[in-house]
Structure 1
Amino acid sequence: MNNTTDSDNNWAELVSGLIAGWEWLERLLAALWNGLGWPHSALIMFCVLICLFKDEIRNVIPRIRKFGTDGFEMESPPQAQQATNEGELQEPPVGDFPHVFGVVFEAVTREIEGKDMAEAKQFLVRDSAGWRVLCFFENIYSNIFGGQIQLLQLLNQRGLAGMPTAEAEREWSAYKERFTPALDDWEMDGFLAFLIGKELIIKSEDRIAITFTGHEFLIWMTKYGRSTNRPW
């Protein structure tokens, strides 16, 4: 019985405190508005709101994609990335783009005209492999985070020696703090899983290093003008 009474008293005190705080804020805003006039009062209120919600605003600004008279568009919070290569070498979607496929098909047919079977096979295999490499890197780039690109660049500078896991953990903590609260639920292993699954890095018990694939992915980014400025 006493516990119930104490609980009711605590709730009553909490509600009274909230009401008193709200009334104080109302009186403060009214005093500012009446005493300083709307331009100065609005500026002060704006500064107060910026101070109160600075962390939320800091998290929103990097996600803004476009700003205009109709408002602004924002990037969605980071989602789990596909860490495996499964399904990337499927048959081409011929039915989705029949016209362009027909044009390219005729161009390839003309290129192998006059070649014997062995030459045509070598040409087609090399051509297919080359395009699949580009598609592979495009797929990675469409899903990779900005922080993962920065990690690849840092590992690329270290060369074969790589980076101690302890240092990688410190880099991860700083990166996660930068994008809090969006990355609060992420862990470093999940962040690295995409890079490991795409064979861009290798991870042992005490070190992380870039692979030849990771090095060539950075070369591809530079050659084809891909920006390192990616979300997260």
Structure 2
Amino acid sequence: MTNLFSIFDPTTSIMKMPFNWTSSLLSIMLLMNMFWMMNNRYLTMMYITTNTFNKEFKVLLNMNNNKGTTLIFISMLLLIMINNLMGLFPYLFTSTSHMNMTLTLALPLWMSFMIFGWTKNSESMFTHLVPSGTPGVLMPFMVCIESISNFIRPGTLSVRLAANMIAGHLILTLLGNTTMSISMKILPFMLIIQMLLLTLETAVAMIQGYVFAVLSTLYASEIN
């Protein structure tokens, strides 16, 4: 590792080719087993997880009659969560720490919401630009503020996910580099701190996938 940020470089692999991006396909290979494996604890856990998220996202979307509407948000949650967790393993590239990955997920989703909302529910989209109870003097300013907040949504979604992944990995890398030059008396405390940070980073990896999916669901609920 030549510098601190080389762990986020996609080309630091064999023959200087971007083979690190193929780590994102490992999650798809792991999930494909459910189509041919017999019923086991892994499948039971996946069914319980997807059913729980399905019930929660239905409440957020207010779509009790439209079956299958929440599948895109559940699949996105599982994809981000598994990629975040796989990035904690040694020598595995964290694809969700790059804007190439996060913006690719957030921008098409937001654009599809906007196109569908302005073509099918134009009156509702205009209503969202001015919150109820806004004084007449402040209405032009509220329209500008709401329009800006709508346009920066894909950026905030992608930056939030990438920044959280980069911050946790940088802290773990800094502590890992300092453990090579400290005394043996401080080494047990450093190991305990690293284990606690790794546990925290595991929780952050799962929470960020959930936050990304919930915010996308809330953005979709405004279109109805």
TM range (shorter): under 0.3
Structure holding more strand per residue: 1
- Which is greater in Rg? 1
TM-score normalised according to structure 1 size: 0.27
Task: Name the structure, 1 or 2, with higher relative contact order (CA <8 Å, separation 6+).
Answer: 2
Structure holding more helix per residue: 2
